[in-house]
Chain A
Amino acid sequence: MTSIVDQVEDWLTDAGSLLDRRVRLGVTGLSRAGKTVFIASMVHHLLHPNRLKLLSVLAEGRFDAAMLQPMPGGSVPRFPYEAVLRDLTGTANQAPRWPDGTRAVSELRLSIRFRSPLAFGLERPNTLHLDIVDYPGEWLLDLPLLSLNYADWSRQAVAQAHRGGRQVLSAEWLALAQSMPADAAGDEPAIAHTAAAFRAYLQAARNAPQRYSMLQPGRFLLPGEMAGAPALTFFPLPDAADNAPRGTLARLMADRFESYKREIAAPFFDHHLKRIDRQVVLVDMLEHLAAGPESLTDLKTAIDGTLGAFRHGESSWLSLLFGKRISRVLFAATKADHLPAADHQGLAGLLDALVGDTSRRLSYAGARIHSEAIAALRVTRETTIETPSGRWPGIAGLPLDSDRVEEVLPGALPLTLEAVTGSDQFAPVAFRPRPGDIRQDQGPASLRMDRALEFLLGDALG
C-alpha cells in the first residue's frame, strides 16, 4: 500500500521532471549520408564518454551518466542501437560491417544527468532528455513537395528529367507520359505502367554514376508498407495545367499527388521532424565530389529544398505559443576519415560553399550555423606514403571491396566547387570497419564528434 507520503513524493518527482531540459535533435541527411551510423556513434559516445575531449560538460567534470530511456508514447519503434552496434563491432562469426540502409522511422531517447554551474563554484543537478529520430533519407525529399502543387511539381520534375545525364535514364518514362493525353481520362493499367517506368527512372538515377540526390517523391524509392497504393501510383505529366477539369488524367494525377502530400508526406513531417530544435545536416561530400559537378548541383538542390521546409530561428518565449524553431544547425561533411587530415579543412570549406545560400538564409532567420568535417566512426589511420614523386600524407584502412588493409592516396581534393570535374584526379576509396575498430565497452574513435556535439548540445548541457 502506498502511503500518502510516497504519493506526495511521486508527485514532487514528477513536478521536478517538468524542469528537465529537452532537446529534439533532427539528424537530417539524404540516403547514404550516414544518419544511422551518426546516431549510433553519438549514443555510443555519450554512453561511454571517454573520448569526447572537447565536450565541455565532460572536460569540466560535470557529466554524471547517460542512459537510454524508453520513448514516451508507444507508436514509433525504438532505434535499434544494440543491433546497429552489433553490426559495427562484428561478432565471432560475422565481420564488422556498416548497418543496412534505414527502411522505417525509429526514435530513441537518451537522458543525460549532469550538473549545471551556478555562481560561486556551486552546481545544480540537471537532466537533459535528448530525443533522436532516424528515418530513411529518401523520405526527406518529400518535404519540398509540401509547398508545391501538382502542376508546379510536374513542370519542375519534367524539366529536371531533361537535364544532363538524367535524359537517358528518363527517356522511357517520358515517352510513355507524352503518349498519354493529359486532358483525357486515363485507364488504370496504363497509369500503373507509366508510374512503374517513373519509379524505375528514379531508381536508375539513384544508382547512376552521377549519384543523383533530387529524387521525388521519396516513397517511390522506399515505399514501405505503401507499395502499390493509389497514392503511390502517379507521375509528373509534361503538360499538366493548373486546375485541370474533373475526369481528366491530369486531375486524377493531381488528386493522387495531393493525397500523397496529405496522407504520407505531411504526417511524416508533422510527427517526426516538425518539433525538432537542433539540426545536423549530414552530407557525404566525398561521393558527390567524386561523381562530378552534375551530382553536386543536384545535391545542392536537394539540400536547399529540404531545409526550406523547416522553421529556423532563435527560440523565444513566443515559441511556447507558435511552436519551436531550430536554433542551431550543424552542416557536417561525413566520412572525413576517408581523407588525410590535411584535407579536412578543405572538405569543410567545400561543404560551406555548397550550402552557402541556405546557411545565409538560416543565419538571417536567427539560427546559429556551423560546419565541420567529421567522421562519426573512424576506420582509417593516417600514414605517409612513399611514391616516386615524393612522400604524401595518405590513409590506411580496410576498403569495402578488399580483404586486406590498404594504403590509399585519395588524390587531389578540389579546392573549389567550380574545380570539381569528376575525373579520376580525385578518387576516394570507401572503407569499412575492421574488427576492434569499434568496441562494445568504450567510446569509438571518431573525428570531431566532440566538436559537433559541443556545438549542438553544449549550451543545453551548460
Chain B
Amino acid sequence: MSQAEHPNTASGPRPFRRAAAGQSGQEPGEAPARPHARRAAPDPDIYREGGSKANQQDAATVQATGLSAASTRTSWTWRFLLAGLALGATALAARLVDNAIASATSGSALGLLTAGALGLLGLALACLIVGEFVSLARLRNRSRIRTMVDQAGSTRDDAQAEKALAALTALHAKRPDLAWSLAQYQEAAADIPDAADKLIVYERLVLGPLDEACVAEIRTIARRAAVLTAFAPNPILDAVFVLWLNLSAIRRVAHMQGLRPGAAASWALLRRTILAMVAAGGMEALGDMMPAAVAGSIVRTVARRVGEGAVNGILTIRIGVAALEATRPMPFAARERPSVTALARQTVGS
C-alpha cells in the first residue's frame, strides 16, 4: 500500500467508506499512528470581551502576586520558630507519655484506662493531622486546577482543556446540589466541538449558580456586619464582631465551594484571601472611593455609626469576594468577577 510520500502529509487512514449497518466495504490500507494536525493558537480573547479588561488584569495580578505555589513558601524565621515549638511540645508529650506508659505497664485498672485513653488520643491526633493534610491538599488542588484552566483557556489546547474538564467534573460530580447544573452542562457540551469552549460553558453553567449563591451569602453576612457595627455598644466588641463575621464569610464561601478547611487550611486560605484582596485592591482604585462616598453621605445625613457600619459591610463584601476568588476552581474568565462596588451599592448603599 502506498503511504504519504510527502513529509508534510499526515499519515493516516486511507479514505474509506462503508454502510453504517456494518457490511464490510473495501478495506483501508495499513497505516501507522497518525499525528494530530495542530495550528498556531488563535486569538483566545474574543470570547472574553464580556469580562472587562480590568478583570483580566485582576486575574493576572493574582497570578503574579502568587496565589499559587510561590506564595506558600514560608520564611526561615517562621520555620525555625515552628520547629522549636514543635520540639518543645514533643518533649512535653514524651514526658507525659512516659508517665502514662509507666502507669499503664503497672497493670492496674487505672493503667489500662490510661492506655486506652492514650490510644484514642493518638488516633484522634492522627485523624486530625491527616485531615489537615487532606484539606490543605484540596486547597492546593484548587490552585492547580485553576492554573490548568487558565492555561487551557489561553492556549486553547484541546488536550489540556480536556484534562482540566476532567479535574473539574471530578470535583463537582459528587455534589447533589450541582447535579442539575452538571446535567445542563453535559447537554450543552454535546453541541461544542472544542474542549476549550466547553470550559467557558462549564464556568457559566456550573460555576455560575455557585457564584450567585456565594454572593448572596456574602451579602447576608455583610449586611449583618453593617448592622452589628452600627449597634455595637463599644468599639472593641465591634472589632471582635467584625473579625468573627469576616472569618465566617471566608468559611462559608469555602464550604459552599466544597472545601472543609481545617486549621492549617484555614490559615492558608486566609492568606490566599488576603493576597487576592490586595491584588484586587490595586485594580479597584476607583472602588476604593466607594466606601468613603457611601459612608460620607450617610455620615452627613444619619449618623457616624451607621457610616462605619457601611464601611465594615463593604470590607466584608471585599473579603468574601476575595475568598470566592481564592476557592474557585476556575479563574474568572467567561463570568465577570463580582464587582465589589456594585455589591456594596446593593447591600449597604441603599
Question: Residues on A close to B: CB < 8 A?
Answer: 51, 53-54, 56, 59-60, 119-121, 341-349, 352, 370-371, 385, 387-390, 392, 394, 396, 399, 404-416, 418-419, 421, 424-427, 429, 445-448, 451, 454-455, 458-459, 462
Q: Which residues of B contact A419 (CB under 8 A)?
A: 6-9
Q: Which residues of A contact B50 (CB under 8 A)?
A: 56, 60, 462
Q: Which residues of A contact B233 (CB under 8 A)?
A: none
Given A53-B188, A53-B191, A349-B38, answer yes or no on A406-B8 (Cβ-Cβ < 8 Å).
Answer: no
Given A121-B342, A462-B49, answer yes or no on A54-B197 (Cβ-Cβ < 8 Å).
Answer: yes
| B10 proximal to A (CB < 8 A) | yes
- Least CB distance from A147 to B in Å reads 31
Is there contact, CB below 8 Å, between A409 and B8? Answer: no
Is there contact, CB below 8 Å, between B47 and A454? Answer: yes
Q: Which residues of B contact A348 (CB under 8 A)?
A: 39, 42
Which of B14, B193, B200 sits near A409, CB closer than 8 Å?
A: B14
User: For the side of the interface on B, what is the size category?
Assistant: 35 or more
Given A341-B193, A421-B6, answer yes or no on A54-B13 (Cβ-Cβ < 8 Å).
Answer: no
Q: Which residues of B contact A345 (CB under 8 A)?
A: 36-39, 158
Is there contact, CB below 8 Å, between B192 and A53? Answer: yes
Q: How far is the CA of A266 from the CA of B346 in the complex (A)?
A: 57
B19-74 interface (Cβ within 8 A of A): 19-21, 27-31, 33-34, 36-40, 42-43, 46-47, 49-50
Q: How far is the CA of A425 from the CA of B13 in the complex (A)?
A: 8
- Least CB distance from A45 to B in Å reads 11
Q: Which residues of A contact B6 (CB under 8 A)?
A: 414, 418-419, 421
Q: Which residues of B contact A352 (CB under 8 A)?
A: 39-40
Q: Which residues of A contact B8 (CB under 8 A)?
A: 414-416, 418-419
Given A341-B193, A349-B38, A406-B19, answer yes or no on A425-B14 (Cβ-Cβ < 8 Å).
Answer: yes
| B341 proximal to A (CB < 8 A) | yes
Q: Which residues of A contact B191 (CB under 8 A)?
A: 51, 53, 445-446
A389, A408, A411 — which one has the most chain B CB atoms within 10 A of its CB? A389
CB closest residue in chain A, given B21: A404
Which of A349, A388, A462 sits near B37, CB closer than 8 Å?
A: A349
Is there contact, CB below 8 Å, between A412 and B12? Answer: yes
CB closest residue in chain A, given B30: A389
Q: How far is the CA of A458 from the CA of B43 in the complex (A)?
A: 15
Q: Which residues of B contact A387 (CB under 8 A)?
A: 13, 16, 27-28
Q: How far is the CA of A448 from the CA of B8 in the complex (A)?
A: 27
Is there contact, CB below 8 Å, between B10 and A410? Answer: no
| B173 proximal to A (CB < 8 A) | no
Is there contact, CB below 8 Å, between B17 and A409? Answer: yes
Q: How far is the CA of A404 from the CA of B19 in the complex (A)?
A: 7
Question: Residues on B close to A: CB < 8 A?
Answer: 4, 6-21, 27-31, 33-34, 36-40, 42-43, 46-47, 49-50, 158, 188, 191-194, 197, 200-201, 204, 334, 339, 341-342, 345-346
Is there contact, CB below 8 Å, between A458 and B46? Answer: yes
- Least CB distance from B198 to A in Å reads 9
Is there contact, CB below 8 Å, between B42 and A415? Answer: no
Q: How far is the CA of A459 from the CA of B46 in the complex (A)?
A: 10
Q: How far is the CA of A322 from the CA of B143 in the complex (A)?
A: 52
Given A342-B36, A404-B20, A415-B37, answer yes or no on A425-B15 (Cβ-Cβ < 8 Å).
Answer: yes
Q: Which residues of A contact B36 (CB under 8 A)?
A: 342, 345-346
Q: How far is the CA of A246 from the CA of B170 in the complex (A)?
A: 82
CB closest residue in chain B, given A386: B22
- Least CB distance from B96 to A in Å reads 59
Is there contact, CB below 8 Å, between B37 and A413? Answer: yes
- Least CB distance from B18 to A in Å reads 6
Given A56-B47, A348-B39, A418-B8, output 13 extra A-B contacts at Cβ < 8 Å.
A53-B192, A56-B50, A342-B36, A345-B158, A346-B37, A394-B13, A405-B19, A406-B19, A418-B6, A425-B9, A451-B197, A454-B46, A458-B46
Interface pairs (6), CB distance under 8 Å:
A352-B39, A392-B31, A404-B20, A412-B14, A458-B46, A458-B49
Q: How far is the CA of A312 from the CA of B38 in the complex (A)?
A: 29
Q: Which residues of A contact B339 (CB under 8 A)?
A: 120-121
Q: Which residues of B contact A411 (CB under 8 A)?
A: 12-16
Q: Which residues of B contact A119 (CB under 8 A)?
A: 342
- Least CB distance from B317 to A in Å reads 14
CB closest residue in chain A, given B6: A419
Is there contact, CB below 8 Å, between B193 and A385? Answer: no
Given A396-B20, A406-B20, A407-B17, answer yes or no on A412-B39 (Cβ-Cβ < 8 Å).
Answer: no
